[in-house]
Amino acid sequence: EKPEPEEALSNIAVIGRYILNANIFNAIEETKPGKGGEIQITDAIKSLIGREKIFAYEFKGMRYDVGEKIGFLKANIAYALKREDLGSELKEYLKKIVEETT
């Protein structure tokens, strides 16, 4: 469902949730199936541009693609390292693993 990086039209991604009004339902009904034969909510939202205001929030921070195995692992490690009850112990464990495997 995601394009290859070299085929992507931009480096903008949907990483959150939507707040939509009831007009989205008509837009979905009018939207033709896209890639994979599925109706995409992003296509329905795109069809509303010009007919009503569409807003986005530009996220500043680290984004993890948790749909990919490595992204899922990175997100969990980063989160755990920030926790007071886990961070120090996990950091020491990771150092040990790196030393043993390099």
Q: What is the 3-state secondary structure (H, E, C) of 12-50?
A: CCCCCCCCCCCHHHHHHHHCCCCHHHCCCHHHHHHHHEC
Residue 36 reports pLDDT greater than 90: no
pLDDT for the residue 46: 94
Q: Which domain holds residue 40?
A: 5-48
Does residue 36 sit within a domain?
yes
Does residue 53 sit within a domain?
no
Does residue 82 sit within a domain?
yes
Residue 12 reports pLDDT greater than 80: no
Average pLDDT over residues 17-36: 93
Total structural domains in the chain?
2
Does residue 44 sit within a domain?
yes
Does residue 91 sit within a domain?
yes
* pLDDT tens digits for range 51-75: 999 998 888 889 898 889 999 999 9
Same domain, 10 and 43: yes
Same domain, 43 and 11: yes
Does residue 32 sit within a domain?
yes
Residue type, 100: E
Residue 3 reports pLDDT greater than 80: no
